[in-house]
Structure 1
Amino acid sequence: MKKPQEIVSILPGDLSSVALHRLMLSAIAPRPIAFASTIDRNGRINLSPFSYFNVFSTRPPVCIFSPSRRVKDNSEKHTLENVREVPEVCISVVSRAMTEQMSLASSDFPKGVNEFEKVGFTPRSSELIRPPGVMESPVCFECRVDEVKALGTEGGAGNLIFCTVLQIHVQKSFMRDDGTLDPVKLDLVGRMGEDWYCQTGSTSMFRVPKPGMVTGIGVDGLPEAIRFSEWLTGNELGKLGHLTRLPDATALQARRESKQFQKIWNRVDGNRQQAREEIHKLAKTLIGKGQLIDAIEIMMVSE
């Protein structure tokens, strides 16, 4: 288990809005980006990115994003004004290939400027709503705006825009044969703090299988000597915690008599501490290979 570290504790009220914004957005990351297109009552199109965004329900299908009040002058953003006039929005996801143009669209252009034209994106006509989607985006969501909830009146205050998804448009080239989306091909980007983004390409993504229908024993269900091993990380303990039960006496006896264990035990000449270190390091390798049963058995017989 990780040892306690030095902590800096901060009260939000002790920071300026700018400093608090920078701290929170650097720590709460990465965040998906809603590239939101809206129109005003005169039919003028606006396109702006927002990283206060996520999906919050499947049935009904609901996304929420939040245009904050500007810190510099406490004014509202054009997107917020538009959805109050025309409660519709098309949310396009952002791939790495779109990032520079998307960033340009976040510029504070005057009211009425069409960001599609300004940054060079192609509007794709929607079928159920008036705002268009971004043709270059892998996936677009046509949404009805059901509610706008203001979270405050100061600069930096968010405004939650509740969006019910009416229709989804997916470029077929980003789909697998079974109809699911290929995360590598999507190559989506996430917003970090300050000027930083992250990319969900093949070299940065990793898989963590979801727990099965049967609940695992948990980290607290592991023997104490394993739980507090100085050679295993929290991630490795978490993998062992997915096991549904500990090995029984028969399995442990077979492991104790195995050539692998006997070879280590003989090499260290019965030195239990040395054997424990060598075996826990071996278990670390086994866990990395997904051989969880082998790992926990050999650690348990070393105690």
Structure 2
Amino acid sequence: MLSIDPKEVSVGVLHGYLLGAVSPRPICFASTVDSEGNVNLSPYSFFNVFSANPPVLIFSPARRVRDNTTKHTLENVLETKEVVVNIVSYAMVQQMSLSSTEYAKGVNEFTKAGFTEIPSSFVKPPRVKEAPVQFECKVTEVIGLGSEGGAGNLVLCEVVKVHIDEAILDAEQKIDPFKIDTVARMGGNWYSRAKDGIFEVEKPLRTLGIGVDRLPMAIRLSKTLTGNDLGMLANVETLPSETEIATFVSQASEPYQYLITSGDENELHTEAQTLLSNGKLHEAWCLLLSKK
């Protein structure tokens, strides 16, 4: 394994490793204005949501590594204490990338990138009409993390108004992850399209999983079952009862009967793995416990 002391490599090299590893990162498409009302629009991937009560987003316009200068966005939020955080969908990504060009101060990136300005309700910066979600925010604090190139500046944004395109909502008025079609930053020039990699993992909130340490040793030390498989198996409160296992065996298909009576352990674990991949956790457990 490559081990790195941050103090022994250049900031540029370290920056590359950090961004390549901490990914995908959501994108804050920040619209701001300066004290004279000049509009700026720029994307930042040092960004996330950190609180729901109060609703707080944080993004970080870092000092440029090459010459230690600051971004217009940072200068604007320090002057006016307001920002609109626009969420970026796949349909916007090329225009958004264009807006990251380092235009001179006073140049409106809405115009350069071809986005549509729409007025906000409670803050001066305009919203991006094309964005599926727009957060109007008051900047409560800016925390500088250093004075050298590459140092971040945490912009704490309290959300005062949320605008959501109804086209991205499902029947329950929740945001549909496929419809919102967000993109995220990876390392280098790479992006990730969220809906192409979506999968569902049930949160262990309603149950207390038995834990990997309580799995039968043959399962825990399996040469076939992966860490993901063990995590799924361990996220049950109780194991199937003897009655449930007996019922499963009595109703098992001929291939399963063979696995239970004559198949080797690896074959059994491979079939259980298939059941797990199809969301059949109870059946996987019954199969694993049916072989004595």
TM-score when normalising by structure 2: 0.94
Indicate yes or no: 2:202 matched with 1:209.
yes
Which range moved further: 124-133 or 256-265? 256-265
Offset of residue 198 of structure 1? 0.6
Number of aligned residues: 290
SS state of the match for residue 131, structure 1?
coil
Q: Is the 8 A contact 1:92 1:140 kept in 2?
A: yes
Offset of residue 207 of structure 1? 1.3
Residue of structure 2 in register with 1:41 after alignment: 35
Indicate yes or no: 2:269 matched with 1:280.
yes
Q: Is the 8 A contact 1:276 1:299 kept in 2?
A: no
State the distance in 2 between where 1:164 and 1:71 align.
Answer: 28
Q: Matches of residues 148-159 of structure 1 in structure 2 within 5 Å?
A: 148-159=142-153
Gaps of 5+ in 2: none
Corresponding letter in the other structure for 1:301: S
SS state of the match for residue 30, structure 2?
strand
Offset of residue 259 of structure 1? 4.7
Offset of residue 204 of structure 1? 2.3
Q: Share of identical aligned residues, percent?
A: 48
Q: Is the 8 A contact 1:174 1:186 kept in 2?
A: yes
Offset of residue 121 of structure 1? 0.6
Q: Is the 8 A contact 2:260 2:268 kept in 1?
A: no
1:149-175: CA deviation from partner (whole Å, max 9, x where unpaired): 001111000000000000001111111
State the distance in 2 between where 1:255 and 1:127 align.
Answer: 60
Runs of 4+ in structure 1 deviating by more than 2 angstroms, as ranges, are 247-266, 300-303
State the distance in 1 between where 2:246 and 2:119 align.
Answer: 68
State the distance in 1 between where 2:244 and 2:130 align.
Answer: 56
SS state of the match for residue 285, structure 1?
helix
Indicate yes or no: 2:221 matched with 1:232.
no
Q: Is the 8 A contact 1:236 1:287 kept in 2?
A: yes
Residue of structure 2 in register with 1:289 after alignment: 278
State the distance in 1 between where 2:249 and 2:213 align.
Answer: 24
Indicate yes or no: 2:252 matched with 1:263.
no
Residue of structure 2 in register with 1:3 after alignment: none
Corresponding letter in the other structure for 2:202: P
Offset of residue 59 of structure 1? 0.6
SS state of the match for residue 192, structure 2?
strand
Q: Is the 8 A contact 1:275 1:302 kept in 2?
A: no
Corresponding letter in the other structure for 2:280: Q
Gaps of 5+ in 1: 1-6, 269-273
Which range moved further: 274-283 or 89-98? 274-283
SS state of the match for residue 146, structure 1?
strand
Query: Pairwise CA RMSD of aligned residues?
Result: 1.6
Which range moved further: 58-67 or 241-250? 241-250
Q: Matches of residues 4-43 of structure 1 in structure 2 within 5 Å?
A: 7-43=1-37
Offset of residue 230 of structure 1? 1.0
Offset of residue 257 of structure 1? 5.7
1:236-274: CA deviation from partner (whole Å, max 9, x where unpaired): 1111121111233444455566655543355x3xxxxx5
Residue of structure 1 in register with 2:236 after alignment: 243
State the distance in 2 between where 1:97 and 1:235 align.
Answer: 33
TM-score when normalising by structure 1: 0.91
Q: Is the 8 A contact 1:33 1:51 kept in 2?
A: yes
